[in-house]
Amino acid sequence: MVLVLALGDLHIPHRAPDLPAKFKSMLVPGKIQHIICTGNLSIKEVHDYLRTLCPDLHISRGEYDEDARYPETKTLTIGQFKLGLCHGHQVVPWGDLDSLAMLQRQLDVDILVTGHTHQFTAYKHEGGVVINPGSATGAYSNITYDVNPSFVLMDIDGLRVVVYVYELIDGEVKVDKIDFKKTTAPTHSAH
């Protein structure tokens, strides 16, 4: 059982002062094995805070990030799954699942984690799963109205991943979960 925290688009301090208190109290160091962050933290303080939760931190660059050295895309393997990470402002039209599926094919990953729209989605298609953890602070977005703060926790176990989404709605944290199973991976050509 491997726990992966996926979150992003915090936009601290441009659009939000801080993570919601209820999220902060839930995110305790030492419980999570990996953190993947879609970007737009956007300051070093947030980076350092995430570091305290888990040393294995992966971040892709958002257009407001103070640190310009974060990569545009990143891929990593956790257990049986290959994950891809990209903020998403690079994929036009923004939030378009077919275009995101193209990126997924390009990165050749089972799970693509992307952000920018501040809207939680978890979408399964032929090539795999696209997950958008939304905005962890509920930051303003032109694309999504009435953003609720949200983040995702993935439990990767063998060929199965359970995606838990935590959303702060009217002051209460609501949890939902979605199951994905990976069919045994076909071997890729020309490696």
Query: What are the residues binding other proteins (CB under 8 A)?
Result: 11-18, 21, 43-45, 63-64, 68, 89-90, 92-94, 96, 98-99, 101-102, 105-106, 108, 126-127, 139-140, 142-143, 145, 188-191
CB of 167 to other proteins, least distance (A): 20
Cβ closest to other proteins, residue 143 vs residue 169: 143
Residue 74 pairs in a beta bridge with: 85
Residue 48 and residue 67: Cα distance in Å, rounded?
A: 12
CB of 190 to other proteins, least distance (A): 4
**Region of residue 146 (left: phi > 0; alpha: psi -120 to 50; beta: else):** left
Asked if residue 189 has a cis previous peptide bond (ω within 30° of 0), the answer is no
CB of 68 to other proteins, least distance (A): 8
Cβ closest to other proteins, residue 14 vs residue 51: 14
CB of 54 to other proteins, least distance (A): 23
Around 148, how many Cα atoms within 13 Å sit in the side-chain half-sphere?
17
Cβ closest to other proteins, residue 17 vs residue 30: 17
Residue 90 and residue 55: Cα distance in Å, rounded?
A: 27
- Torsion sign, CA atoms 81, 22, 117, 8: negative
Cβ closest to other proteins, residue 64 vs residue 151: 64
